[in-house]
Protein backbone atom coordinates (compact mmCIF):
# COMPACT_ATOMS: atom_id res chain seq x y z
CA UNK A 1 0.00 0.00 0.00
CA UNK A 2 1.38 3.41 -0.97
CA UNK A 3 1.92 6.21 1.53
CA UNK A 4 -0.89 8.18 -0.11
CA UNK A 5 -3.33 5.29 0.35
CA UNK A 6 -2.15 4.69 3.93
CA UNK A 7 -2.39 8.36 4.97
CA UNK A 8 -5.20 9.24 7.33
CA UNK A 9 -7.31 12.25 6.54
CA UNK A 10 -6.61 15.33 8.64
CA UNK A 11 -8.86 18.34 7.88
CA UNK A 12 -6.10 20.70 9.05
CA UNK A 13 -3.62 19.22 6.58
CA UNK A 14 -5.58 17.80 3.63
CA UNK A 15 -7.74 19.58 1.11
CA UNK A 16 -11.41 18.60 1.02
CA UNK A 17 -14.88 19.84 0.05
CA UNK A 18 -17.59 21.01 2.45
CA UNK A 19 -21.28 21.38 1.67
CA UNK A 20 -23.18 24.63 2.26
CA UNK A 21 -26.85 23.65 2.77
CA UNK A 22 -28.00 27.28 2.65
CA UNK A 23 -26.72 27.67 -0.92
CA UNK A 24 -26.66 24.06 -2.16
CA UNK A 25 -22.99 24.50 -3.07
CA UNK A 26 -19.57 23.15 -2.14
CA UNK A 27 -16.53 24.98 -0.73
CA UNK A 28 -12.93 23.87 -1.29
CA UNK A 29 -10.94 23.88 1.97
CA UNK A 30 -7.14 23.98 1.51
CA UNK A 31 -5.77 24.47 5.02
CA UNK A 32 -2.20 23.56 4.04
CA UNK A 33 -1.97 26.77 1.96
CA UNK A 34 -1.68 28.86 5.13
CA UNK A 35 1.93 27.67 5.34
CA UNK A 36 2.92 29.57 2.22
CA UNK A 37 4.68 32.95 2.66
CA UNK A 38 2.61 36.03 1.84
CA UNK A 39 3.99 38.46 -0.73
CA UNK A 40 0.71 39.92 -1.92
CA UNK A 41 -1.19 43.12 -1.25
CA UNK A 42 -1.07 44.64 2.21
CA UNK A 43 -3.89 46.96 3.26
CA UNK A 44 -3.27 50.29 4.93
CA UNK A 45 -3.89 50.20 8.68
CA UNK A 46 -7.26 51.80 9.45
CA UNK A 47 -7.35 55.35 10.69
CA UNK A 48 -7.45 55.26 14.48
CA UNK A 49 -8.03 58.94 15.24
CA UNK A 50 -11.66 59.50 14.28
CA UNK A 51 -13.15 62.72 15.63
CA UNK A 52 -16.26 62.37 17.78
CA UNK A 53 -17.87 65.10 15.71
CA UNK A 54 -16.83 66.27 12.25
CA UNK A 55 -18.64 69.33 10.83
CA UNK A 56 -17.99 67.96 7.32
CA UNK A 57 -19.49 64.52 7.98
CA UNK A 58 -23.02 64.29 6.51
CA UNK A 59 -24.04 61.66 9.07
CA UNK A 60 -23.26 63.71 12.17
CA UNK A 61 -26.06 65.43 14.11
CA UNK A 62 -26.92 68.93 12.90
CA UNK A 63 -24.94 68.63 9.67
CA UNK A 64 -26.18 69.23 6.13
CA UNK A 65 -26.37 66.27 3.75
CA UNK A 66 -25.76 66.25 -0.02
CA UNK A 67 -29.43 66.95 -0.80
CA UNK A 68 -29.47 70.05 1.39
CA UNK A 69 -31.42 68.51 4.26
CA UNK A 70 -30.14 69.15 7.78
CA UNK A 71 -29.89 66.28 10.25
CA UNK A 72 -31.62 66.77 13.59
CA UNK A 73 -29.51 66.89 16.74
CA UNK A 74 -30.27 63.23 17.36
CA UNK A 75 -29.14 61.56 20.57
CA UNK A 76 -29.84 57.91 19.76
CA UNK A 77 -30.56 56.21 16.42
CA UNK A 78 -31.46 58.26 13.35
CA UNK A 79 -33.07 56.97 10.14
CA UNK A 80 -33.43 58.86 6.87
CA UNK A 81 -34.09 58.10 3.21
CA UNK A 82 -30.85 57.43 1.32
CA UNK A 83 -29.88 60.52 -0.66
CA UNK A 84 -28.61 58.30 -3.50
CA UNK A 85 -30.93 55.25 -3.43
CA UNK A 86 -30.33 52.13 -5.51
CA UNK A 87 -34.08 51.49 -5.45
CA UNK A 88 -36.94 53.95 -5.82
CA UNK A 89 -40.67 53.25 -5.35
CA UNK A 90 -41.90 54.71 -8.63
CA UNK A 91 -39.66 53.18 -11.33
CA UNK A 92 -41.46 52.32 -14.63
CA UNK A 93 -42.03 48.75 -15.79
CA UNK A 94 -39.77 47.55 -18.69
CA UNK A 95 -42.65 45.60 -20.24
CA UNK A 96 -43.12 41.90 -20.97
CA UNK A 97 -42.47 41.63 -24.73
CA UNK A 98 -38.82 40.55 -24.62
CA UNK A 99 -36.45 37.98 -26.10
CA UNK A 100 -35.83 35.11 -23.62
CA UNK A 101 -32.10 35.95 -23.57
CA UNK A 102 -32.69 39.64 -22.86
CA UNK A 103 -35.21 39.73 -20.06
CA UNK A 104 -35.80 42.50 -17.55
CA UNK A 105 -38.32 43.13 -14.81
CA UNK A 106 -39.50 46.08 -12.78
CA UNK A 107 -37.37 46.82 -9.71
CA UNK A 108 -38.92 49.06 -7.10
CA UNK A 109 -38.20 49.74 -3.47
CA UNK A 110 -36.87 52.11 -0.85
CA UNK A 111 -33.40 52.63 0.63
CA UNK A 112 -32.74 54.04 4.07
CA UNK A 113 -29.68 54.88 6.15
CA UNK A 114 -29.67 54.29 9.89
CA UNK A 115 -27.13 55.91 12.20
CA UNK A 116 -26.45 53.83 15.31
CA UNK A 117 -25.16 56.64 17.50
CA UNK A 118 -24.54 60.42 17.39
CA UNK A 119 -20.78 59.96 17.90
CA UNK A 120 -18.48 59.08 15.00
CA UNK A 121 -15.76 57.51 17.14
CA UNK A 122 -17.78 54.56 18.47
CA UNK A 123 -18.77 51.22 16.98
CA UNK A 124 -21.30 48.64 18.15
CA UNK A 125 -18.87 46.82 20.50
CA UNK A 126 -17.95 50.15 22.11
CA UNK A 127 -21.55 51.22 22.63
CA UNK A 128 -23.43 50.56 25.87
CA UNK A 129 -25.72 47.54 25.89
CA UNK A 130 -28.81 49.72 26.19
CA UNK A 131 -27.65 51.69 23.13
CA UNK A 132 -27.29 48.48 21.11
CA UNK A 133 -30.78 47.45 22.26
CA UNK A 134 -32.09 50.69 20.74
CA UNK A 135 -30.41 49.77 17.45
CA UNK A 136 -32.14 46.38 17.51
CA UNK A 137 -35.49 47.98 18.37
CA UNK A 138 -35.13 50.30 15.40
CA UNK A 139 -34.34 47.32 13.15
CA UNK A 140 -37.52 45.66 14.40
CA UNK A 141 -39.51 48.83 13.74
CA UNK A 142 -38.19 49.09 10.18
CA UNK A 143 -38.94 45.44 9.39
CA UNK A 144 -42.51 45.91 10.62
CA UNK A 145 -43.02 49.27 8.91
CA UNK A 146 -41.48 48.52 5.50
CA UNK A 147 -42.24 44.80 5.52
CA UNK A 148 -45.96 45.46 5.26
CA UNK A 149 -45.41 46.53 1.65
CA UNK A 150 -42.21 44.90 0.38
CA UNK A 151 -41.38 41.16 0.08
CA UNK A 152 -37.80 41.67 1.26
CA UNK A 153 -36.25 44.06 3.77
CA UNK A 154 -32.45 43.77 3.80
CA UNK A 155 -30.66 45.22 6.81
CA UNK A 156 -26.89 45.31 6.28
CA UNK A 157 -23.77 47.00 7.62
CA UNK A 158 -20.49 47.55 5.79
CA UNK A 159 -17.86 48.37 8.40
CA UNK A 160 -14.39 49.64 7.52
CA UNK A 161 -12.80 51.18 4.44
CA UNK A 162 -11.57 47.75 3.30
CA UNK A 163 -15.25 46.79 2.91
CA UNK A 164 -16.00 49.89 0.84
CA UNK A 165 -17.39 51.98 3.68
CA UNK A 166 -16.30 55.56 3.04
CA UNK A 167 -17.87 57.04 6.17
CA UNK A 168 -16.60 55.92 9.62
CA UNK A 169 -19.74 57.12 11.42
CA UNK A 170 -21.49 54.02 12.85
CA UNK A 171 -24.39 53.22 10.54
CA UNK A 172 -26.14 50.56 8.49
CA UNK A 173 -28.42 50.54 5.49
CA UNK A 174 -31.89 49.13 4.88
CA UNK A 175 -32.96 48.27 1.33
CA UNK A 176 -36.48 47.01 0.69
CA UNK A 177 -37.48 45.57 -2.70
CA UNK A 178 -40.57 44.38 -4.54
CA UNK A 179 -38.67 41.19 -5.42
CA UNK A 180 -36.84 38.49 -3.49
CA UNK A 181 -33.08 39.01 -4.16
CA UNK A 182 -30.89 36.14 -5.34
CA UNK A 183 -29.31 35.14 -2.01
CA UNK A 184 -32.49 35.03 0.10
CA UNK A 185 -34.37 33.38 -2.77
CA UNK A 186 -31.75 30.61 -2.89
CA UNK A 187 -31.75 30.32 0.90
CA UNK A 188 -35.55 30.11 0.85
CA UNK A 189 -35.46 27.18 -1.58
CA UNK A 190 -32.76 25.34 0.36
CA UNK A 191 -34.45 25.78 3.74
CA UNK A 192 -37.81 24.74 2.29
CA UNK A 193 -36.31 21.61 0.71
CA UNK A 194 -34.67 20.59 4.00
CA UNK A 195 -37.87 21.24 5.97
CA UNK A 196 -40.00 19.19 3.60
CA UNK A 197 -37.57 16.27 3.86
CA UNK A 198 -36.73 16.36 7.58
CA UNK A 199 -39.70 18.14 9.16
CA UNK A 200 -37.53 20.63 11.05
CA UNK A 201 -36.01 24.01 10.12
CA UNK A 202 -32.50 23.57 8.75
CA UNK A 203 -30.86 26.24 10.89
CA UNK A 204 -32.68 25.24 14.06
CA UNK A 205 -31.30 21.72 13.73
CA UNK A 206 -27.89 23.13 12.78
CA UNK A 207 -27.79 25.29 15.93
CA UNK A 208 -28.61 22.24 18.07
CA UNK A 209 -25.83 20.22 16.44
CA UNK A 210 -23.24 22.98 16.81
CA UNK A 211 -24.20 23.57 20.46
CA UNK A 212 -23.54 19.88 21.14
CA UNK A 213 -20.31 19.59 19.15
CA UNK A 214 -18.70 22.77 20.56
CA UNK A 215 -16.15 22.72 17.72
CA UNK A 216 -16.96 26.05 16.07
CA UNK A 217 -18.91 27.97 18.75
CA UNK A 218 -17.41 31.39 19.48
CA UNK A 219 -19.96 32.89 21.88
CA UNK A 220 -23.26 31.59 23.21
CA UNK A 221 -26.03 32.33 25.67
CA UNK A 222 -29.33 30.78 26.69
CA UNK A 223 -31.03 32.41 23.68
CA UNK A 224 -28.27 32.87 21.07
CA UNK A 225 -25.41 31.05 19.38
CA UNK A 226 -22.57 32.58 17.32
CA UNK A 227 -20.66 29.98 15.34
CA UNK A 228 -18.14 29.77 12.51
CA UNK A 229 -20.21 27.81 9.96
CA UNK A 230 -18.96 24.37 8.97
CA UNK A 231 -19.17 25.62 5.37
CA UNK A 232 -17.61 29.06 6.01
CA UNK A 233 -15.86 30.69 3.04
CA UNK A 234 -14.42 33.81 4.65
CA UNK A 235 -11.65 33.29 7.25
CA UNK A 236 -13.59 34.54 10.30
CA UNK A 237 -17.10 34.25 8.93
CA UNK A 238 -19.83 34.01 11.56
CA UNK A 239 -23.42 32.83 11.73
CA UNK A 240 -25.56 34.28 14.53
CA UNK A 241 -28.61 32.18 15.40
CA UNK A 242 -31.45 32.21 17.94
CA UNK A 243 -31.83 28.93 19.82
CA UNK A 244 -35.60 28.76 19.39
CA UNK A 245 -37.62 28.88 16.17
CA UNK A 246 -37.89 32.55 15.11
CA UNK A 247 -38.99 33.76 11.68
CA UNK A 248 -38.18 37.48 11.76
CA UNK A 249 -36.57 40.14 13.93
CA UNK A 250 -39.95 41.42 15.08
CA UNK A 251 -40.77 37.94 16.45
CA UNK A 252 -38.02 38.23 19.08
CA UNK A 253 -39.13 38.65 22.69
CA UNK A 254 -37.90 41.56 24.82
CA UNK A 255 -35.51 39.20 26.59
CA UNK A 256 -34.17 37.87 23.28
CA UNK A 257 -33.57 41.39 21.98
CA UNK A 258 -31.61 42.27 25.11
CA UNK A 259 -29.71 39.00 24.80
CA UNK A 260 -28.98 39.80 21.17
CA UNK A 261 -27.44 43.13 22.16
CA UNK A 262 -25.23 41.35 24.68
CA UNK A 263 -24.03 38.61 22.32
CA UNK A 264 -23.41 41.11 19.50
CA UNK A 265 -21.18 43.15 21.81
CA UNK A 266 -19.32 40.02 22.91
CA UNK A 267 -18.84 38.75 19.36
CA UNK A 268 -17.74 42.09 17.90
CA UNK A 269 -15.37 42.67 20.81
CA UNK A 270 -13.71 39.35 20.05
CA UNK A 271 -13.39 40.43 16.43
CA UNK A 272 -11.69 43.68 17.48
CA UNK A 273 -9.32 41.83 19.79
CA UNK A 274 -8.29 39.27 17.17
CA UNK A 275 -5.87 41.60 15.35
CA UNK A 276 -6.18 44.54 17.78
CA UNK A 277 -8.02 46.65 15.23
CA UNK A 278 -11.56 47.88 14.66
CA UNK A 279 -12.53 44.76 12.72
CA UNK A 280 -14.00 45.31 9.22
CA UNK A 281 -16.88 43.21 7.97
CA UNK A 282 -20.10 43.11 6.00
CA UNK A 283 -23.06 41.75 7.92
CA UNK A 284 -26.77 41.42 7.40
CA UNK A 285 -29.97 39.81 8.61
CA UNK A 286 -31.95 37.11 6.81
CA UNK A 287 -35.46 36.24 7.95
CA UNK A 288 -38.66 34.98 6.42
CA UNK A 289 -39.91 37.10 3.48
CA UNK A 290 -42.43 39.84 4.20
CA UNK A 291 -45.08 41.77 2.24
CA UNK A 292 -47.32 39.28 0.38
CA UNK A 293 -45.44 36.40 2.06
CA UNK A 294 -46.62 37.38 5.55
CA UNK A 295 -49.78 35.30 5.08
CA UNK A 296 -47.87 32.26 3.81
CA UNK A 297 -46.50 29.35 5.83
CA UNK A 298 -42.80 30.14 6.34
CA UNK A 299 -42.10 27.48 8.97
CA UNK A 300 -39.00 26.40 7.04
CA UNK A 301 -37.33 29.74 7.78
CA UNK A 302 -35.09 30.58 10.73
CA UNK A 303 -33.88 34.10 11.50
CA UNK A 304 -30.10 34.50 11.28
CA UNK A 305 -27.35 37.04 10.73
CA UNK A 306 -24.28 36.60 8.52
CA UNK A 307 -20.94 38.23 9.32
CA UNK A 308 -18.34 38.30 6.52
CA UNK A 309 -14.97 39.75 7.64
CA UNK A 310 -12.25 39.96 4.95
CA UNK A 311 -9.11 39.80 7.12
CA UNK A 312 -7.01 36.65 6.85
CA UNK A 313 -3.58 36.77 8.49
CA UNK A 314 -3.42 40.16 10.17
CA UNK A 315 -5.01 43.61 10.26
CA UNK A 316 -3.40 44.38 6.90
CA UNK A 317 -3.79 41.11 4.95
CA UNK A 318 -7.22 40.26 3.58
CA UNK A 319 -8.69 37.40 1.58
CA UNK A 320 -9.51 38.03 -2.08
CA UNK A 321 -12.35 36.31 -3.92
CA UNK A 322 -10.76 36.17 -7.38
CA UNK A 323 -9.57 33.71 -10.03
CA UNK A 324 -10.62 30.23 -8.92
CA UNK A 325 -13.36 31.56 -6.62
CA UNK A 326 -14.90 33.59 -9.45
CA UNK A 327 -14.48 30.98 -12.19
CA UNK A 328 -14.84 27.64 -10.37
CA UNK A 329 -15.95 27.60 -6.72
CA UNK A 330 -15.35 29.21 -3.34
CA UNK A 331 -12.11 28.25 -1.58
CA UNK A 332 -10.58 28.98 1.82
CA UNK A 333 -7.08 28.60 3.25
CA UNK A 334 -7.85 27.51 6.81
CA UNK A 335 -10.46 25.20 8.24
CA UNK A 336 -13.55 26.74 9.82
CA UNK A 337 -12.50 25.14 13.12
CA UNK A 338 -9.24 27.10 13.35
CA UNK A 339 -10.93 30.49 13.96
CA UNK A 340 -12.47 29.01 17.11
CA UNK A 341 -9.42 30.55 18.79
CA UNK A 342 -11.64 33.65 18.89
CA UNK A 343 -13.39 32.09 21.87
CA UNK A 344 -10.29 32.40 24.06
CA UNK A 345 -9.52 36.03 23.27
CA UNK A 346 -9.33 38.56 26.09
CA UNK A 347 -12.28 40.90 26.57
CA UNK A 348 -11.02 44.47 26.30
CA UNK A 349 -14.31 46.29 26.61
CA UNK A 350 -16.53 44.04 28.73
Q: What is the mean pLDDT of the chain?
A: 91
Checking if the pLDDT of 350 tops 90, the result is no
Q: Tell whether residue 111 is among the known ligand binding residues.
A: no
Domain positions in the chain are 183-344
Residue pLDDT, tens place only, 295-340: 999 999 999 999 999 888 788 888 888 999 999 999 988 888 876 5
The CA distance from 155 to 349, in Å, is 26
171 is catalytic: yes
Candidates 117, 169, 171, 286; catalytic one: 171
Is the distance from CB of 136 to CB of 116 less than 8 angstroms? no
Q: Tell whether residue 173 is among the known ligand binding residues.
A: yes
Domain 183-344 has CATH 3.30.428.10: yes
Helix, strand or coil, per DSSP, at residue 125: helix
- Is the torsion defined by CA of 198, 200, 201, 202 positive or negative? negative
Q: Tell whether residue 166 is among the known ligand binding residues.
A: yes
Checking if the pLDDT of 348 tops 50, the result is no
Average of pLDDT values for 144-155? 98
Distance from chain centroid for Cα 21: 17
Long-range contacts formed by 315-323: CB under 8 A, 24+ apart? 315/43, 315/45, 315/46, 315/275, 315/276, 315/277, 316/42, 316/43, 316/44, 316/45, 317/38, 317/40, 317/41, 317/42, 317/43, 318/41, 318/43, 318/162, 319/234, 319/235, 320/40, 320/41
The CA distance from 252 to 348, in Å, is 29
Is the distance from CB of 170 to CB of 125 less than 8 angstroms? no
Residue pLDDT, tens place only, 230-244: 999 998 999 999 999
Confidence (pTM): 0.92
Residue pLDDT, tens place only, 180-224: 999 999 999 999 999 999 999 999 999 999 999 998 999 999 999
Percent share of the chain, pLDDT over 90? 74
Q: Tell whether residue 84 is among the known ligand binding residues.
A: no
Amino acid sequence: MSKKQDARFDPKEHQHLRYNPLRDSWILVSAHRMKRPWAGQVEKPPEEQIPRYDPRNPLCPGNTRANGEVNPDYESTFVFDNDFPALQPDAPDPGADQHPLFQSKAARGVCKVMCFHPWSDVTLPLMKKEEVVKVIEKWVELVEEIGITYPWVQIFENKGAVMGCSNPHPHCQVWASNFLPNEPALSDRCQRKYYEKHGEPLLLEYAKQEAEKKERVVVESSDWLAVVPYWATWPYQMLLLPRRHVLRLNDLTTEEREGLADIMKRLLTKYDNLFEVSFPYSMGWHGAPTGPHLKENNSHWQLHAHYYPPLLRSATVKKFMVGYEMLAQEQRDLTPEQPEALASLFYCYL
